[in-house]
Amino acid sequence: IPPLDRCHCNKIINVIHFTCGPGSGKGTQCEKVVAKYGFTHLSSGDLLRAEVSSGSERGKQLAAIMEKGELVPLDTVLDMIKEAMIAKADTSKGFLIDGYPREVRQGEEFEKKIGAPSLLLYIDAKAETMVKRLMKRGETSGRTDDNEETIKKRLDLYYKATEPVIAFYEGRGIVRKIDSEGSVDQVFSQVAKAIDSLK
């Protein structure tokens, strides 16, 4: 992949990271953000699942890691995000990057290779809520990681690796914390307020 040149960087406005626990409702909220603001939604999990579906050798390796609820190698996810951003850089109004960064190092590398985010949205959900939603989703999602054992591992990893990401960006004053316990629309009104504060 070519490096993002200056021209591209200038066009990459409004990089919003959506970093929350598994099952906190990122995917659901991102759809609503796209409908209202027209941002480009990039879900790191979806990009990885697309690679798995392609049946490639790399996809097979990724599937094994994701089934265990572990993190795939940092460069793999970042390259996929960057590739997708370059493809849209000329026309996008902004990027909503869902499920990334998952660990502080992913955030640091993103800034080195792409740029600094303008906002980090964080949906604060209780572990109990996340587990309940994922178990329910697992009845129909077909996701191999929506099972009790892997959900537990994803949650453990979230508390260990991802929560520190929030503290890292809090130091920069770009974190907006959102309470997940209401309805989808109640959560969205908080999300929209945070995005509107960017203008």
Distance CA 126, CA 18 (A): 17
Q: List binders of ligand GTP among 67-126 (CB under 6 A).
A: 99
CA distance 144 to 180: 25
Evaluate the omega torsion of the peptide bond into residue 101 and state whether it is cis, within 30 degrees of 0: yes
Tell the smallest beta-carbon distance from residue 100 to ligand CDP (Å): 4
Q: Which stretch binds ligand GTP (CB under 6 A): 32-40, 114-122, 133-141, 161-169?
A: 133-141
* DSSP secondary structure letters along 151-178: HHHHHHHIIIIIHHHHHHHHTTT-EEEE
Residues annotated in the binding site for ATP, as ranges?
Answer: 23-28, 137, 182
Minimal distance, residue 51 CB to ligand GTP, in Å = 16
Which position among 15, 17, 19, 23 is part of the footprint of ligand GTP (CB under 6 A)? 23
Nearest distance in Å: CB 6, ligand GTP: 33
Q: Which residues contact 47 (CB under 8 A, 6 or more apart)?
A: 77, 80, 81, 84
Binding residues (CB under 6 A) for ligand CDP: these are 22-23, 44-45, 48, 65-66, 69-72, 77, 99-100, 102, 106, 145, 154
